Amino acid sequence: MAGVVALMLQKNPSLTNADATFGTLSNPTSWGPGSLERLLESSATPIPTPGSANITQRTGEVTVESWGTDAVGKGWVFVDKALAVAGP
């Protein structure tokens, strides 16, 4: 994920996470997403829970990826979609 964020920042240096609300360990709910995180999350492809998908590897081999109800996050991040929402 860090590589995708680095590419987004390179594409649009005006992106920042500086508007995040800083939290503390004693109050983790006070954390808030910054502008960069919101853009990255908006570009994610949702993953239905539970589920599975056929994934075509670079070799052309198709494998099945599966996950359960404990899957977390916003979904799959694809670099082209993340860069498209990054802006200029």
* Contact yes or no for 46/73 (Cβ under 8 A): no
Stronger pLDDT, 28 or 45, i.e. the higher one:
45
Give the DSSP H/E element, type plus range, for residue 39: helix 35-43
What pLDDT was estimated at residue 45? 87
Mean pLDDT score of the chain, rounded to an integer? 84
What is the average pLDDT across 54-76?
Answer: 89
CA–CA separation, 34 and 17 (whole Å) = 4
